[in-house]
Amino acid sequence: MSLNKTYEFNDIIRDIIDKKEFQQLKDELHHGISRYHHCIRVAKGTYYITKKFNLNYENATKAALLHDFYTNEQMKDFNSKEAFRLHPDLALENAKNLLGLDKLQENIIASHMFPVCKEKPKYIEAWVTSIVDKGVAIYEMYRYKASLVMGIWILFIFNIISIQK
């Protein structure tokens, strides 16, 4: 990413990453690294693609940053299958408590686990984040945790072939 884009990306995410609630994600394990770093990686990919295609990149980047904004403590009453499906709703609730979201941002967070979550992506930006998230997850699993990779590949491919306007 160019220096200008790096500055702009950092400007967009600064307000959120500086909040103590978001800083908590540094202690949460996710794909073998911290959920904080996973969220930044997904936000960066979303920023890069949505800016390139002249989409609503500022709002999309902020929502992508918050797509997994939850703690393991909040998920402790759910088994791993339920947590997989339900965490977008929890992330959405947490994100709404952190800052005001528009409809696009709500959809990005709620639908990022498509096709296993309740909500479907309704905007191109939401399709971008849901695909970037799976691409990043595959990368992180290969790099930090070799298990679960096949399942995410299947979701990734299904996501690509399900793209609609």
Positions that interact with Fe ion (CB under 5 A): 68, 133
Buried b (16+ CB within 10 A) or exposed e, 107-126: bbbbbbbbeebebebbbbbb
- Between residues 4 and 31, which has the closer beta carbon with respect to Fe ion? 31
Minimum CB separation from Fe ion for residue 28, in Å? 12
- Between residues 125 and 133, which has the closer beta carbon with respect to Fe ion? 133
Minimum CB separation from Fe ion for residue 30, in Å? 7
The Cα-based distances of 86 to 9, 29, 45 in angstroms read 29, 18, 23
Minimum CB separation from Fe ion for residue 4, in Å? 27
The Cα-based distances of 32 to 38, 67, 110, 136 in angstroms read 10, 18, 23, 12
Residue with tokens 């403590």: 73
- Between residues 7 and 115, which has the closer beta carbon with respect to Fe ion? 115
- Between residues 119 and 133, which has the closer beta carbon with respect to Fe ion? 133
Minimum CB separation from Fe ion for residue 99, in Å? 19
What are 30's strand-pairing partners? 33
CA 53 to chain centre: 19
Tokens read off for 67: 């797509």
